[in-house]
Amino acid sequence: MSWADYTDIIVNVFIIGFAIGLILIAFSREKHEDEMIQKLRLQALQWSVYANYIVLILCSLLFYWTDFFNVLVLNMYTVLLAFIIVFRWTLHQMNKESLS
């Protein structure tokens, strides 16, 4: 095997590992899982899908050919990243309000 083959394998392992890691982070159970947490998850997922498609539409207007392909590759992860950020932020805000 050549060095390029090893590089391809390493990149594939990284892509798969990153996707699995994001899925595990995004959908792991909370310590106190209730209906409110489920509602927050659903709202965060909805907003992350909106954000993902807004980014996709903007990038389709700004980038072409191979640059757009690179945007699509990165866009695979934006739904999960946005979901994690929105969910954790709303959960933090909810916890902060309950403490005060």
pLDDT, position 48: 95
pLDDT score for 41:
94
Q: Which residues contact 56 (CB under 8 A, 6 or more apart)?
A: 71, 75
Domain chopping of the chain, boundaries: 3-99
Give Cα 54 distance to the centre of its chain. Answer: 14
Confidence (pLDDT) at 38: 93
Question: Do 26 and 83 meet the contact criterion of CB atoms below 8 Å apart?
Answer: yes
Chain segment 29-75, per-residue pLDDT in tens = 888 888 999 999 999 999 999 999 999 999 999 988 888 888 888 88
Mean pLDDT of the chain: 90
Contact 59, 71 (CB under 8 A): yes
The percentage of residues in the chain with a pLDDT greater than 90, rounded to a whole number, is 59
